């Protein structure tokens, strides 16, 4: 049985397989139409780019969004290194976005990390330059330099502080402090001798006894204070009565003077029946005035006698 082979179909199959292989290789090599799917930016790195290579990843907040295309020294300023990157079109690269060189683990390799970019900032057009930020190692190096500088300054000041002259001054100060401490201890011992201690103990004992006496006689002291307040009120009332009587007497005298001036009353005829009663009234007013003056004088000279002075009663015949 003869088998017929169709070489045309075999050729077409081989040609299609080769074409697919070529397209796959183009896709793997980043060629073809995908070049239009990226935005291109330049980063001016002021520091070194150790560990960064072509086709190193570019990440936006930890997510890979592109690759490094080219690394070269800036022809206008040799202090900068220009790093060209390609970033996916949908990556929100803003005017305030910064690029930071970040180490990738402990391998020694680095990648570009894009940070920042607020919502209100404008999108950075393709072909523009992205500002470079300070990497972690740069920050550590700067901090270490500052710490070293401050440490050197501190040590220099310490050396200046503990020179021979200052050491002698400190020794003199310590010696003076020691002498002052001894002198103070001696004075305290003299002050706290047996005689002074007994005097202080006696004073404290007397104070305690006085306090206890006040506590025991608290009710009596309260009664004395109440009596003093009542006596003061009586004195005020007495003065008020005297003042009222004086006012009434003035009014009466004024009325009588008016009647006498007009000839309405006969002085002798009117005063003779009431002269004795009027004399008694004047004596009583004079007695009240003397008593009020004595009370006020006593309060003025010795207010404490009103509360603490005990009344002395006159003893009768045969009493002790």
Are the C-beta atoms of residues 64 and 57 closer than 8 Å to each other?
Answer: yes
Tens of pLDDT, residue by residue over 85-136, are 999 888 888 888 888 888 877 777 888 899 887 888 888 888 888 888 876 6
Are the C-beta atoms of residues 97 and 123 closer than 8 Å to each other?
Answer: no
Tens of pLDDT, residue by residue over 229-278, are 777 777 777 777 777 777 777 777 777 777 767 766 555 666 666 667 77
Signed CA dihedral, 82, 88, 91, 94: sign only: positive
Q: Alpha carbon of 320 to those of 310, 311, 313, 316: distances in Å?
A: 17, 16, 11, 8
For the chain, the distance separating the N- and C-terminal CA atoms, rounded to the nearest angstrom, is 174
pTM for the whole structure:
0.38
Tens of pLDDT, residue by residue over 140-198, are 666 667 777 787 778 777 777 777 777 777 778 888 888 888 788 777 777 666 777 77
DSSP string, 172-217: HHHHHHHHHHHHHHHHHHHHTSHHHHHHHHHHHHHHHHHHHHHHHT
Tens of pLDDT, residue by residue over 184-228, are 877 777 766 677 777 777 888 888 888 887 777 777 777 777 877
In this prediction, residues 289-317 reach a mean pLDDT of 61
- Reported as a pLDDT band with limits 50, 70 and 90, residue 69 is very high
Residue 53 C-alpha from the chain's centroid: 54
Are the C-beta atoms of residues 57 and 86 closer than 8 Å to each other?
Answer: no
Q: Is the pLDDT at 294 greater than 70, yes or no? A: yes
- Angle CA(53)–CA(57)–CA(60) in degrees, nearest 5? 140
């Amino acid at each position: 049985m003869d088998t017929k082979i169709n070489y045309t179909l075999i050729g077409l199959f081989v040609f299609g397989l080769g074409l697919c292989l070529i397209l796959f290789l183009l896709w793997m090599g980043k060629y073809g139409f995908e070049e239009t799917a990226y935005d291109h930016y330049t980063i001016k790195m002021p520091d070194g780019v150790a560990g960064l290579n072509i086709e190193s990843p570019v990440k936006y907040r930890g997510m890979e969004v592109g690759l490094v295309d080219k690394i070269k020294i800036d022809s206008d300023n040799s202090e900068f290194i220009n790093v060209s990157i390609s970033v996916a079109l949908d990556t929100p690269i803003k005017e305030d976005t910064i690029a930071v060189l970040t180490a990738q683990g402990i391998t020694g390799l680095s990648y570009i990390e894009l940070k920042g970019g607020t919502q209100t900032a404008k999108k950075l057009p393709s072909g523009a330059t992205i500002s470079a930020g300070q990497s972690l190692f740069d920050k550590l190096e700067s901090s270490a330099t500052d710490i070293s500088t401050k440490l050197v300054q501190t040590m220099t000041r310490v050396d200046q502080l503990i020179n021979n002259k200052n050491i002698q001054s400190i020794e003199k100060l310590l010696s003076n402090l020691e002498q002052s401490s001894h002198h103070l201890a001696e004075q305290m011992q003299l002050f706290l001798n047996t005689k002074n201690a007994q005097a202080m103990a006696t004073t404290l004992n007397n104070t305690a006894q006085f306090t206890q006496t006040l506590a025991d006689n608290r009710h009596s002291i309260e009664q004395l204070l109440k009596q003093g307040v009542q006596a003061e009120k009586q004195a005020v009332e007495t003065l008020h009565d005297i003042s009222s009587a004086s006012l009434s007497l003035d009014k009466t005298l004024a009325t009588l003077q008016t009647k006498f001036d007009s000839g309405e009353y006969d002085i002798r005829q009117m005063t003779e029946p009431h002269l004795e009663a009027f004399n008694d009234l004047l004596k009583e007013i004079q007695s009240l005035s003397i008593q009020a003056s004595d009370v006020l004088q006593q309060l003025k000279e010795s207010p404490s006698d009103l509360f603490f002075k005990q009344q002395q009663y006159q003893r009768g015949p045969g009493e002790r």
